[in-house]
Structure 1
Amino acid sequence: MFIPIILAIVTIFSVVFALKKKQPIFFALPVVAILGIVVVKIAMVPMPFWETIQFIFDLRG
């Protein structure tokens, strides 16, 4: 429940700053935040990082 709230706050602030400063680079901030959370969640798995990545992609088929 904590992560969606943080992502919502980051998204709101990035949209406000992008519209205020007129710099569209701020729209990339929520995407970067989501990717950061994904990397942290993968790193929390008690397996080596590369094996975890291979396992995730092997689940598709």
Structure 2
Amino acid sequence: MFIPFILALITIFSVYFALKKKRPLYFILPIAIIFVAAIVKIAMVPMPFWETIQFIFDLRG
């Protein structure tokens, strides 16, 4: 519950600053933070990292 709230706040602030300062670079910030959070969550799985990645993509079908 805490992480989605923080991600939503970061997204709102980055959109605000991107529109206010007219710099589209601020739009990359929420995407980068979501990517880093996903990598951290994957790294927390008690399996080797590469096996975890393979398992995630094998779930598709």
TM-score range, shorter chain: over 0.9
TM-score (normalised: structure 2): 0.94
Which residue is equivalent to 2:57? 57
Length, aligned pairs only: 61
Which residue is equivalent to 1:29? 29
**RMSD (Å) for aligned C-alpha atoms:** 0.7
Q: Sequence identity of aligned pairs in percent? A: 74
Q: Can you give the 5+ residue segments of structure 1 that lack an aligned partner in the other structure?
A: none
Q: Can you give the 5+ residue segments of structure 2 that lack an aligned partner in the other structure?
A: none
- Secondary structure of the structure 2 residue equivalent to 1:54: helix
